Amino acid sequence: MAISSKRITINLLLIAAVASIPVIEKFVPLGLHISDPMTDVFVYAILGLGLNILTGFTGLLNLGVAAFAAIGAYVFAISTCEIYPFQLGFWSALGLTMAAGALAGFALGAPTLRVRGDYLAIVTLGFGEIVKDVLVNMDSITKGTQGINPLPPPTLFGHELGGSGQYWLFMAIALLVAVGARSLERSRIGRGWISIREDELASRAMGIRPDHAKMLAFATCASLAALAGALTASRLSSSGEPGNYDFQISILALCIVIVGGIGSVRGVLLGALVMVGMNSIVLVKLTELMGGSDAAPPAALAEAHGLQWAFLFVKTWAQNVLISPTNWKFLVFGLALVLMMIFRPEGILPARGAKEDAPDGDEGTGGVTGGVTGGITGGGASSVAAKELRP
């Protein structure tokens, strides 16, 4: 009880600290504002939580989650933009978007129930490319590469939300999704997903219906991914072009799940902060601090001395393509992933039981982490499935 109370207190303090960022920004210089990129972190956290249900809980590798985000963005755009006859409200459009995403998840899940491992990854990858090409070619509806715009901003009780309002709204939605994902994990449905991830044959023997559970996991993942796409479209006031929802988005979502901890809700939230925050906040602010493209003139360097000379020198060379931190982001991402796989393959905040379920000689890499490649043959499914059958 004490541990639970302490964890709740820490979580509440973290939520309060994140929620206070827009208020703190009123007293700091404009260059130190981070609420706008933090909104992107919330959106990617929702996307990662959806993928975590399919890949982390159920053990099915999905490389086409960006396609569901694209479907969500375009369904939201078509249902709200003034050039179409529907013009639904923000919340009604979100509900329709999630329903459309769930239907797309069923459509992808139904023909792939017997496909596993690397083959499923290839199928989902192909699905992502098909969706992107269809959105481009259906230009009479989707406006092709131009995207659909303008879209109405997020609203609450009939009032349009500005920057701070959108920040708090997106944060609240991300928290609700996280709580829902955690509740699903502890539920009868979640235990069924986990047992399938550990050993599908043992789960079937214990009375679980793997086909039904997989379809539900696909639908839930697709619905949350569509929600993330709709929130992005509403925030940007445009669906964006289909090329924005490419394979890189799917890989980034998968990296968020892996780095944070496969099967861990807390880990996905932290993974979104690390992966998206590194690119959108740390590297950008570091480049701005170094001066970006505003190089100091040679005369200023000649007249400066000491620390002032060092600062101007850094600003001068920050425009160099080899020195600008933003140009090193892919190297940083790649190096971070390599180091994570070597020293902490279970993730920063692994799911409970990840180390306990690890096979001998490979502590911390079995169970949950092994589910990504479809090579899970652990013996924990019987106990998980037994819990599934308990009232």
The pair of structure tokens assigned to 374 is 């479809």
**pLDDT of the residue at 312:** 56
The amino acid that residue 32 corresponds to is: L
Kindly indicate the confidence band of residue 300, based on its pLDDT and cuts at 50, 70 and 90.
very low
Question: Is 93 inside a domain boundary?
Answer: yes
SS3 156: strand
Question: Is 180 inside a domain boundary?
Answer: yes
Q: How do residues 167-211 score in pLDDT, each as one tens digit?
A: 999 999 999 999 999 999 999 999 999 999 999 999 999 999 999
First to last CA, the chain: 24
The pair of structure tokens assigned to 18 is 């994140």
Question: Is 310 inside a domain boundary?
Answer: no
- Asked whether the predicted pLDDT for residue 291 surpasses 90, the reply is no
Question: Is 309 inside a domain boundary?
Answer: no
Question: Is 209 inside a domain boundary?
Answer: yes
- What is the Cα–Cα distance from 102 to 85, expressed in whole angstroms? 23
**pLDDT of the residue at 315:** 58
- What is the Cα–Cα distance from 271 to 262, expressed in whole angstroms? 10
C-alpha pair distances (Å), 264 with each of 12, 53, 347: 18, 10, 9
- What is the Cα–Cα distance from 226 to 203, expressed in whole angstroms? 30
Identify the domain containing residue 371 by its residue range. 17-276+354-389
Number of domains within the chain: 1
Question: Is 308 inside a domain boundary?
Answer: no
Q: How do residues 215-263 score in pLDDT, each as one tens digit?
A: 999 999 999 999 999 999 999 999 999 999 999 999 999 999 999 999 9
- Asked whether the predicted pLDDT for residue 386 surpasses 70, the reply is no
CATH of the domain at 77: 1.10.3470
- Asked whether the predicted pLDDT for residue 276 surpasses 50, the reply is yes
- 139-148, 212-221, 277-286, 298-307: least confident range: 298-307
Q: Would you say the C-alpha torsion 334, 337, 340, 343 has a positive or negative sign?
A: negative
Question: Is 345 inside a domain boundary?
Answer: no
- What is the Cα–Cα distance from 208 to 190, expressed in whole angstroms? 12
